């Protein structure tokens, strides 16, 4: 009667905490991408399952009652794997996904489909000093750009080719608007690049860019499998209550 939480996000940790409090047996799963992951409360396993077949086998071996895919909006492969594995194993699956960001008044955003598209938008912009906050994975898309200087922020050092002119800033959110503003000012940033990660933890850079009239290249979220989806931890708990009631089972 265990709920498997596919994690790596703040929402996944919040859900683990909420379910743990009710006494529901949970197991959180992390990919193992960062050197020092923020761990959720409760039991955690780390590492891939070996694709959809491996995950389906894991679900039956561990008697998983329901799965909540609370992975990052850009973690496309694990979500596809979860949809396929849960379908094959007959295990209910919920997607917990924070809403994306929306441009407000004063924002100068250019939407692109992927990181190569972001690299093309950077080249076309004529920007000189780019703040690249799209994460460690996919940085190779910018490696061929010779002319702008990049401030590249990520959690762990990248292990892919990087653009010729860059400085690395190893850091992890949450970030505040005054601090983000200081980076933009001190580094004389004239273009910001971000994925549409959504959520409040990394949104301060957008407000700081808006205040300064700095344009932003925003990478659209990838397409997702068609599964039941909610935006909040509370909705996830409600959904789980309706699934043959693992929450009451946890209480008894
Ligand atoms: P991905 O491309 O969708 O996944 C690649 C492979 O990593 C999956 O096929 C799976 O391996 C394994 N995997 C991913 N998430 C897992 C999880 N929670 N538990 C166990 N295995 C997992 O994912 P990604 O973009 O590399 O992201 C990896 C993790 O970092 C995700 O869990 C995500 O929540 C977190 N994260 C990602 C981003 C981002 O921008 N992509 C940002 C912040 C946090 P198998 O096929 O072997 O099962």
pLDDT in tens, 97-125: 999 999 999 999 999 999 999 999 999 99
175, 204 Cβ separation under 8 angstroms: yes
* CB distance 48 to ligand 1 below 6 Å: yes
- Residue whose Cα lies nearest atom 23 of ligand 1: it is 75
* CB distance 40 to ligand 1 below 6 Å: no
Place of tokens 């009631």: 245
**pLDDT per residue over 63-85, tens digit each?**
999 999 999 999 999 999 999 99
Place of tokens 């608007």: 177
- Residue whose Cα lies nearest atom 25 of ligand 1: it is 75
Q: Ligand 1 mean position to 17 CA, how many Å? A: 21
Return the ligand 1 atom nearest residue 8 CA: 34
**pLDDT for residue 250:** 47
Q: Ligand 1 mean position to 212 CA, how many Å? A: 34
For the chain, which residues score pLDDT lower than 50?
249-252
* CB distance 28 to ligand 1 below 6 Å: no
Top mutation candidate among 78, 84, 158 for ligand 1, by most atoms within 8 Å of CB: 78
* CB distance 38 to ligand 1 below 6 Å: no
Buried/exposed code over 68-82 (b: 16+ C-beta within 10 A; e: otherwise): bbbbbbbbeebbbbb
């Amino acid at each position: 009667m265990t709920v498997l939480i596919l994690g790596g996000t703040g929402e996944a940790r919040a859900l683990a905490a909420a379910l743990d409090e009710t006494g529901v047996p949970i197991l959180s799963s992390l990919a193992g991408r960062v050197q020092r992951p923020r761990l959720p409360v409760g039991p955690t396993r780390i590492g891939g399952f070996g694709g959809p077949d491996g995950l389906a086998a894991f679900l039956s071996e561990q008697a998983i009652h329901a799965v909540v895919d609370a992975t990052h909006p850009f973690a496309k492969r694990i979500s596809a794997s979860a949809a396929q594995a849960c379908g094959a194993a007959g295990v209910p699956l919920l997607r917990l996904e924070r809403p994306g960001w929306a441009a407000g008044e004063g924002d100068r955003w250019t939407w692109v489909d992927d990181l190569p598209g972001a690299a093309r938008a950077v080249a076309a912009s004529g920007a000189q000093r780019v703040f690249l906050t799209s994460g460690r994975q996919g940085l190779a898309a910018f490696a061929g750009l010779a002319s702008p200087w990049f401030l590249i922020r990520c959690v762990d050092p990248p292990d892919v080719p990087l653009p010729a002119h860059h400085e690395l800033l190893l850091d992890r959110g949450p970030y505040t608007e005054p601090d983000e503003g200081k980076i933009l000012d001190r580094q004389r940033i004239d273009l910001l690049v971000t994925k549409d990660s959504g959520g409040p933890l990394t949104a301060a850079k957008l407000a700081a860019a808006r205040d300064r009239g700095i344009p932003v290249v925003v990478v659209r979220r990838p397409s997702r499998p068609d599964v039941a989806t909610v935006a909040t931890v509370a909705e996830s708990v409600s959904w789980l209550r309706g699934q043959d009631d693992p929450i009451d089972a946890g209480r008894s």
